Structure 1
Amino acid sequence: MSDEEVLSQEEVESLLTAMEAQAAPPTAAAAPSSPERRARSREKVAPYDFKRPERVGKEQVRALQTLHEGFGRNFGAALSALVRSIVEVKLTSVDQLTYSEFVFSLENPTCFNLLRAEPLEGNLILDINPSILYPIIDRLLGGGKGSGSLARRPLTEIELRLVGRITTLFLRELRHAWENVLDLTLSVDRVESNPQLVQIVPPNEVVVLISFELTIGDVRGMMNLCIPFNSIERISSRLAANSWVSYGRPTRSPEAIARVSRQLDGSLVEVVVELAQTTISTAELLGLRVGDIITTDKDVSEPLRIEIQGATKFLASPGALKGRKAVQIESTLDTPPKAAATPPVAAKKT
């Protein structure tokens, strides 16, 4: 072949393009003819890891995050009342990973609680890191604010009972957080110290890991709630709905009102009987001596006002009982009148 019969580079590329166009099906798009187009097409391809399949949708993850943010605030308040110290509970992440990755990321020994959450299938896991668990136990036993050295051992029988008080608070608030999604019956199945000896799902099964950071003074630690995906798979559509938004604004049921009333029955309140009111000048006040009498405009037949914690609730008449001054309640004020401007001096008897 002579030099005149040799095809140029442009001619070779045009022939190859024409052959590819003829070989391609009519409905298929033309192949990219430049390196720039081929690079753009490769950018659209996302790698897929079969060991870590993304089975939980973004909408479900956002729902779980919003739901457990409110749970963290309520659990922190309940835990603060238990340990009589300020405890901050902050939601740090909501991730999905395999069960084996979750287990091997934990310390050994740790506080590994297997939970039952009926009607969900299988078990849930609550892991409490020893770095925050032992300081909480120390405070429950009367310890001070010092963190001390961290123990590297399984929990004793006494410590397990104290941990039961913590998990009871956790399950109570968790049930309240989920009540708008599903009415759960939560309980602790058993407590283990070595997480690698417990297998509730296959190692490659996807789980949802909800992590909280607990802070007590200068001590911090993690608390993890592990939910296998197969446990919530059949209710995932409820997590996509907006039913969880109403968490934190429950209606007042008659049972809740009765429970609060029972708790208030034994409360101590201040009872004040107002005998009369009058106004005197500062000079008269400074000139008062023992035996002086302050006159008022109140008639002796007018009822006395009884105040409960500063609010006028009853009308009464004065008297005596067994040699002591007393009052007899005559009527109840359903709507207390607005308090008038406080006078400089008021004669009251408690």
Structure 2
Amino acid sequence: MADNVLSQAEVESLLNAMETGNEPSKPAAAASPDPHAGHHPRNREKITPYDFKRPERVGKDQMRALQSMHEGFSRNFGAALSALLRSIVEVKLTSVDQLTYSEFVFSLENPSCFNLLTAEPLEGNLILDINPSILYPIIDRLLGGGKESTPATRRPLTEIELTLVSRISDLFLVELKEAWENVLPLDLKVVRVESNPQLVQIVPPNEVVVLVSFELAIGDVRGMINLCIPFNSIERISHKLTANTWFSYGSTDATPQSKAAIGDHIDKAHVSLDVILADTTITMEELLDLRVGDVITTEKDSRTPLQVNVNGTPTFQAFAGAYKGRKAIQIERSYERKKSPPQK
């Protein structure tokens, strides 16, 4: 057996230990890996809590598609509602969230305007909820009310008010069908209107739904409109909710139906009409001396047509006359703009 020979460092260590009464220092061993070493709290990854009561069953791509699709819908619905109410209505998409059906129902006011919808070929039912804080001002506007704000009313809708609300919900469904056209043609109908949301059970309480919320603003009055889409209704067509579907929504070619719809809105628009009889120049002194009954002479020939402006733009040429004892004009042709000579 070979003799163990101590090194000079080990001998000195033993002598020092004997003098101090401590154990000899051991050679430094390789540092064992510390699972927490080098991990500063700032360097740790962020931990997101997961609630098993609210599983996210709709993918992020589908949620982005729903959000972009309903952003376009909100603009169109706002324009259509403004034409119906003859007042500026701002509609803004506020959120697209996933939650359980029970959370959605218990977050609503009672009473409310709770519309139960069918959207064939989607399975089940959808929910359209209109908040009373914006619903009653709309009804007041449809009945001829002014801009004065009315206090919030907490009561169920009457039969007359339900008939007026149907005009709003029908307009909502028309624009919603147009927004979903690139994903799936929907046949949307209102099958029932309830005032107490807790009496309507379209899916189990823990079933996941997609809640699309809009904020309406009419002057100083604001309120919410909520569209509730159960996940089981869109589960079969979730693969169609991609970026391509809503991107093509704004780039499709005009159809005869869309042109007719735009034409219907334009036909109901109010325009300013004025007729230029003649023009001349007079001095300020002559203007101050004018009295009732004075005649202003011009160089315009009575046999030449008059210029008719629509919203300040020369549009027609007409002749002045009378119709049933009232001053009138008879439009002859479209306004002919003089072509400027070609530049050399």
TM-score greater than 0.5 by the shorter chain: yes
Secondary structure, counterpart of 1:234 in structure 2: coil
Could you give the per-residue CA deviations for residues 211-238 of structure 1, whole angstroms, max 9, x where no partner exists? 1111222222111111111111122222
How many positions carry a matched residue from both structures?
A: 311
Asked whether the equivalents of residues 305 and 317 of structure 2 are also in contact (C-alpha less than 8 Å), the reply is yes
CA distance in 2, matches of 1:149, 1:272: 46
Asked whether the equivalents of residues 269 and 308 of structure 1 are also in contact (C-alpha less than 8 Å), the reply is no
Could you give the per-residue CA deviations for residues 70-120 of structure 1, whole angstroms, max 9, x where no partner exists? 211221222222222222211111110001110111111111001111111
Deviation for aligned residue 1:154: 0.9
TM-score normalized with structure 1 length: 0.69
**Equivalent position of 2:228 in the other structure:** 226
**What pairs with 1:83-122 in structure 2 (closer than 5 Å)?**
83-122=85-124
**Equivalent position of 1:71 in the other structure:** 73
CA distance in 2, matches of 1:142, 1:292: 44
CA distance in 1, matches of 2:158, 2:296: 71
**Equivalent position of 1:125 in the other structure:** 127
**Equivalent position of 1:344 in the other structure:** none
Identical positions, percent: 63
Unaligned residue ranges in structure 1 (runs of 5+): 18-31, 317-326, 342-350
Secondary structure, counterpart of 1:52 in structure 2: coil
**Equivalent position of 1:177 in the other structure:** 179
- Aligned with residue 209 of structure 2, among 198, 203, 207: 207
CA distance in 2, matches of 1:227, 1:176: 17
Could you give the per-residue CA deviations for residues 236-260 of structure 1, whole angstroms, max 9, x where no partner exists? 2222232212334543223444566
- Asked if 1:251 is matched to 2:253, the reply is yes
Could you say what the CA RMSD is over the residues aligned between the two structures, in angstroms? 4.6
- Aligned with residue 152 of structure 1, among 131, 154, 176: 154
Secondary structure, counterpart of 2:236 in structure 1: helix
Deviation for aligned residue 1:205: 0.8
**Equivalent position of 1:239 in the other structure:** 241
Secondary structure, counterpart of 2:133 in structure 1: helix
Unaligned residue ranges in structure 2 (runs of 5+): 1-21, 288-293, 320-328
Asked whether the equivalents of residues 306 and 312 of structure 1 are also in contact (C-alpha less than 8 Å), the reply is no
Change (3 A) 1:156 1:278: closer
Letter aligned with residue 60 of structure 2: K
**Equivalent position of 2:36 in the other structure:** 35
- Asked if 1:198 is matched to 2:204, the reply is no
**Equivalent position of 1:55 in the other structure:** 57
Letter aligned with residue 34 of structure 1: P
- Aligned with residue 166 of structure 1, among 165, 168, 184: 168
- Aligned with residue 135 of structure 1, among 134, 137, 141: 137
Asked whether the equivalents of residues 308 and 318 of structure 2 are also in contact (C-alpha less than 8 Å), the reply is no
CA distance in 2, matches of 1:205, 1:328: 66
Secondary structure, counterpart of 1:108 in structure 2: coil
Could you give the per-residue CA deviations for residues 8-33 of structure 1, whole angstroms, max 9, x where no partner exists? 9x99x99xx8xxxxxxxxxxxxxx74
Q: Which deviates further from its counterpart, 196-205 or 257-266?
A: 257-266
Secondary structure, counterpart of 1:242 in structure 2: helix
Letter aligned with residue 216 of structure 2: L
CA distance in 2, matches of 1:278, 1:143: 43
Secondary structure, counterpart of 2:140 in structure 1: helix
Deviation for aligned residue 1:159: 0.6
CA distance in 2, matches of 1:236, 1:210: 16
**Equivalent position of 2:10 in the other structure:** none
**What pairs with 1:333-344 in structure 2 (closer than 5 Å)?**
336-338=336-338
**Equivalent position of 1:323 in the other structure:** none
**Equivalent position of 2:12 in the other structure:** none
Secondary structure, counterpart of 2:172 in structure 1: helix
TM-score normalized with structure 2 length: 0.70
Could you give the per-residue CA deviations for residues 116-170 of structure 1, whole angstroms, max 9, x where no partner exists? 1111111110111111111111121122222232211111100100110110111
Change (3 A) 1:242 1:270: same
